[in-house]
């Protein structure tokens, strides 16, 4: 990859040692002749990433989700440094960032392209999600009655606590907790997983790239809540269905040249006791 000459930093100061780590990495970048800029809050202002070769996000996955829309619009690769808990998206540890940062600045990395979901809930109400779109009743204790169409064809209707529409990247997040499948992050698909469905036969459904999904609220006197990546809510027009598609934009995510997705999944989800563990002995 080309060397990085302009680098933005987004730092979650609430995370342990994040400000100190940012100071260290910014000094390394400046010593290498890289122009740097920094933001300590997210989401960042529109245009913050314009003209940048990359963005170094120091925090947790939530911090990275807060910058993902702007990074996708500007097509700026994200270097995620984990100072949170799981860190599926922020793939560099603090130690890895320190030891590999000079190499990253030289362009010694690979970039993976992650799909996003585009969601519309009515005129002027649309947004992008890297992980998932959650649809549920505005009142947490109420079940919803949702009818789902794919390209105009009825899929089925659900009585449940909600529906999760997940990207492959988000398959290890809320989707996984709700019993949904793990999906390789480069697959261009959407996973739909019901939350606590009121039937024994409902399972996740995988939809192809290019599908247009429409979700109708069929419960009278109820309003839907549509949450994007668990961070932002869209206003729902009562006369319009919720429309979900795979967005044209992709998020560019920086990884080490020796990055292994399944190694990360085994580590983060603590898979053990199988063949992969026996091979180590």
Return the pLDDT at 162.
96
Catalytic sites, residue numbers = 61
pLDDT bucket at 42, cuts 50 / 70 / 90: confident
Least confident of 75-89, 200-214, 233-247, 262-276: 262-276
- Whole-number average pLDDT of the chain: 92
**Residues 132 and 101 placed together within one structural domain of the fold:** no
Report whether pLDDT(260) > 80: yes
Separation between Cα atoms, residue 182 and residue 167, nearest integer Å: 10
Report whether pLDDT(122) > 80: yes
Q: Tokens in use for 122? A: 């009515």
Report whether pLDDT(134) > 90: yes
Q: Which residue range is the domain that position 124 belongs to?
A: 116-248
Report whether pLDDT(277) > 60: no
**Residues 127 and 88 placed together within one structural domain of the fold:** no
What phi and psi, each to the nearest 5 degrees, are found at residue 257? Answer: -65, -25
In a domain, 1, yes or no: no
Return the pLDDT at 265.
84
**Residues 131 and 100 placed together within one structural domain of the fold:** no
* CA angle, residues 61, 44, 33, in degrees to nearest 5: 90
More confident residue, 201 or 191: 191
**Residues 93 and 16 placed together within one structural domain of the fold:** yes
**Residues 147 and 128 placed together within one structural domain of the fold:** yes
Return the pLDDT at 85.
74
Return the pLDDT at 273.
59
Residues 6 or more apart whose CB falls under 8 angstroms from that of 56 comprise 7, 8, 9, 10, 22, 25, 78, 79, 81
**Residues 164 and 62 placed together within one structural domain of the fold:** no
CATH number at residue 21: 3.40.50.10330
% of the chain with per-residue pLDDT over 70: 96
173-181: average pLDDT: 95
Separation between Cα atoms, residue 180 and residue 195, nearest integer Å: 10
pLDDT digits (tens, 9 = 90+) for 106-116: 999 999 999 99
**Residues 43 and 161 placed together within one structural domain of the fold:** no
CATH number at residue 243: 2.60.200.30
**Residues 120 and 241 placed together within one structural domain of the fold:** yes
What interhelical angle do 18-31 and 94-105 show, nearest 10?
Answer: 20
More confident residue, 140 or 115: 115
Contact status, residue 215 vs residue 117, Cβ threshold 8 Å: no
pLDDT bucket at 281, cuts 50 / 70 / 90: low
Contact status, residue 4 vs residue 104, Cβ threshold 8 Å: yes
Neighbour count for residue 256 (Cβ, 10 Å): 15
**Residues 21 and 128 placed together within one structural domain of the fold:** no
**Residues 243 and 176 placed together within one structural domain of the fold:** yes
Domain total in the chain: 2
Instruction: List C-alpha distances in Å: 114 to 89, 129, 171, 246.
Output: 11, 11, 12, 11
214-218: average pLDDT: 96
In a domain, 74, yes or no: yes
62-76: average pLDDT: 95
In a domain, 138, yes or no: yes
**Residues 128 and 230 placed together within one structural domain of the fold:** yes
- What is the residue whose two structure tokens read 């680098």? 7
In a domain, 78, yes or no: yes
Return the pLDDT at 238.
83
In a domain, 45, yes or no: yes
Report whether pLDDT(148) > 60: yes
In a domain, 164, yes or no: yes
Instruction: Check: pTM over 0.75? Answer yes or no.
Output: yes
Report whether pLDDT(184) > 90: yes
pLDDT bucket at 270, cuts 50 / 70 / 90: confident
Report whether pLDDT(275) > 60: no
Neighbour count for residue 182 (Cβ, 10 Å): 14
**Residues 239 and 269 placed together within one structural domain of the fold:** no
């Amino acid at each position: 990859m080309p060397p990085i000459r302009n680098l933005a930093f987004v730092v979650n100061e609430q995370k342990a040692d994040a400000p100190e780590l940012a100071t260290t990495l910014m000094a390394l970048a400046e010593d290498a002749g890289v122009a740097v800029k920094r933001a300590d809050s997210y989401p960042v202002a529109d245009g913050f990433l314009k003209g940048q070769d990359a963005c170094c996000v120091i925090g947790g996955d939530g911090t990275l989700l807060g910058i993902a829309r702007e990074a996708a619009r500007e097509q700026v690769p994200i270097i995620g440094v984990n100072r949170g808990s799981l860190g599926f998206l922020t793939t560099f540890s603090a130690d890895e960032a320190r030891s590999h940062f000079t190499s990253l600045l030289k362009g010694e990395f690979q970039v993976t392209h992650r799909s996003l979901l585009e969601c519309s809930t009515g005129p002027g109400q649309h947004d992008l999600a890297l992980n998932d779109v959650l649809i549920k009743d505005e009142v947490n204790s109420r079940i919803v009655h949702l009818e789902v169409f794919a390209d105009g064809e009825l899929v089925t209707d659900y009585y449940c606590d909600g529906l999760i529409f997940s990207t492959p990247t988000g398959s290890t997040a809320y989707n996984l907790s709700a019993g949904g499948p793990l999906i390789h992050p480069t697959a261009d698909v959407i996973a739909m997983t019901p939350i606590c469905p009121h039937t024994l036969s409902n399972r996740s459904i995988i939809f192809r790239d290019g599908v247009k999904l429409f979700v109708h609220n069929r419960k009278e006197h109820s309003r839907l809540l549509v949450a994007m990546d668990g961070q932002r809510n869209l206003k729902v027009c009562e006369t319009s269905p919720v429309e979900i598609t795979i967005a044209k934009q992709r998020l560019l995510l920086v990884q080490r040249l020796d990055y292994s997705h399944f190694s990360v999944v085994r580590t983060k989800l603590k898979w053990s006791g199988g063949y992969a563990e026996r091979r180590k002995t």
